[in-house]
Structure 1
Amino acid sequence: MANASVLSSDPAEAAVQVGRYLIDVDMFPVFLMAHFCIACLMIREDSKDLGPKFHQNHPMASWVSSVLTSLAGVFVTNFLFGTAVVDIIKEDKLIIVVTIIWYFMNYGPFDLLFKVVRLSPVYMILALLQENLRARCVFQGLQMATKAYPGAVIIVLLAGVINGNGYGYVKIVERLIRGKWVPGSNDFLEVTYFAKSSLYASGAFMLQSSGLIPVAEELVYLSVVAIFMIFRITITMTSFKDPLLPLEQPAAKLLFGVGDKKKQASETTGKVENGKVETKKRR
């Protein structure tokens, strides 16, 4: 593995080194813990309309929802590819770390972890770390599906999308565990930015591996990570829920007759959705 601390003086070679480092760097514990913090925060925030003390009155539902959200991509991928859904539970280290973070996020002294994670600078750092993890999940999902189903383009693409946005496809089930029924909130009915960006990233990785994008794998990976991070900053710092909409709208209107969705892009809900702390839109 290239040593990211000693970069080449050649910008192109330095970019390849950084890309290789990001591909090879261990996601545990830093990147995964950042993701777990945001997942547990999201569950607590999304439970506010179920009662101010839902997490205290229903600790089992809160814990199961937090674990399912934290490892959603693995659960869904295992289900679709014929692996036992509960196989991930064999990873004791991950379950223990999620449980510790869940506990201190919901029951820690003075709500300290909850309050710290909600601070804008801290949340931004965690979100950017999470985007690095999401790029890795897309990349690894493609690799896993390619080995299992070589030549099956749709299956390989599906694996990348699911691994990069697992929560979007288990959201209904996860909310049912907490007694919350919102059938209109799913990534099939309303395709989110996180689903679309995972799809585009999967397509880019596949085009590169097939030789249609004639650049190094490391450069494509680095580009995906950079774009993910830039868009996450945009989502977190502005009112846009989907920065891809302005780019997609002309084509969508031409192909499907889709109306103006700019209002959707600027709406905020006062909840945490897909790892973003949102506030109500001012009128």
Structure 2
Amino acid sequence: MELLGMFDELSHGLADLPMFPYFEMAHYIVSVMALREQPGALEVSRVSPLACWFSSMLYCFGGSVLSGIMLAEPPVAPLSNGPVILLASLVWYLVFYSPMDMVYSCTALPPIRVVLSGLKEVTRTGKVLGGVTMAHNKYKDSLLVMIAIGWARGAGGGLISNFEQLVRGVWKPETNELLKMSYPTKITLLGAVLFTLQQTHYLPLQRHHLMLLYTLFIVVNKVGIRHSV
């Protein structure tokens, strides 16, 4: 009984945990680092900081942009949140332009990167659940739409990677996530399916319990992958 009580308390704690600013900042750091490590991205940052910034925002907010387009909402809505954009822009600047490359060098250290990656995965749960909930409010009986929006909101940065590449003057259609899905895209699709089934009462679990189970699963897997690399 004590174990069940602890599990319930943890699940409620996670459900009520604010993502901004610390968890979201980890998401921005890992996302911008992923962009910086793309071939040619560092060169683009020197030639056109504006293109580099725009690419970084797509990495950070791709899920919100893509899910907004799919729900016929303004794709620029994420840009209306001043504090969020300011924090993401500050992270972009520090990762690409900090003196002596100190910020990137520190965050790229394996122990720090593992922690940041784990924190980023915590935000994935909220994004997937948020997308499923948004879709459910508009299309209550459509499982496919809820799965698609949850998937788009949680893995939008990868799903629109070809468009982001065009911003940097790169065209690689063979890297399309639908043709060859990466681990984050696959695990987000799984989450979208699970939260959709829970939302429509096909999965007999409380939402906060599923949130905790899914978060533990993706964090442990992500940290394990990072640790093994």
Equivalent of 2:185 in 195, 205, 230: 195
RMSD (CA atoms) = 1.5
Q: 1:213 to 1:109 in 2, by over 3 A?
A: same
- Compute the displacement of 1:13 (Å): 1.8
Which residue pairs with 2:56 in the alignment? 66
Pairing 1:224-235 to 2, within 5 Å after superposition: 224-235=214-225
Which residue pairs with 1:243 in the alignment? none
Pairing 1:1-283 to 2, within 5 Å after superposition: 10-46=2-38, 49-50=39-40, 53-239=43-229
1:88-147 deviations in Å (ceiling 9; x for gaps): 111111111111111111111111111111001110111000000001111111111111
**TM-score (structure 1 length as normaliser):** 0.77
Q: Is the 8 A contact 2:65 2:78 kept in 1?
A: yes
Q: Is the 8 A contact 2:159 2:176 kept in 1?
A: yes
Structure 1 distance, partners of 2:179, 2:85, is 31
1:2-45 deviations in Å (ceiling 9; x for gaps): xxxxxxx7211211121122122111000110010111111111
1:41-79 deviations in Å (ceiling 9; x for gaps): 111111xx3276431222111100001110000000111
Structure 2 distance, partners of 1:52, 1:89, is 24
Q: How many equivalent residue pairs?
A: 229
- Compute the displacement of 1:84 (Å): 0.8
Match of 2:132, as an amino acid? L
Q: Is the 8 A contact 2:15 2:208 kept in 1?
A: yes
Where relative contact order (Cα < 8 A, 6+ residues apart) is larger, the structure is 2
Q: Secondary structure at the match of 1:234?
A: helix
Q: Which has the higher helix share?
A: 2
Structure 2 distance, partners of 1:186, 1:131, is 22
Hey, which bits of structure 1, 4+ residues long, moved more than 6 A? none
Q: State the identity as a percent.
A: 25
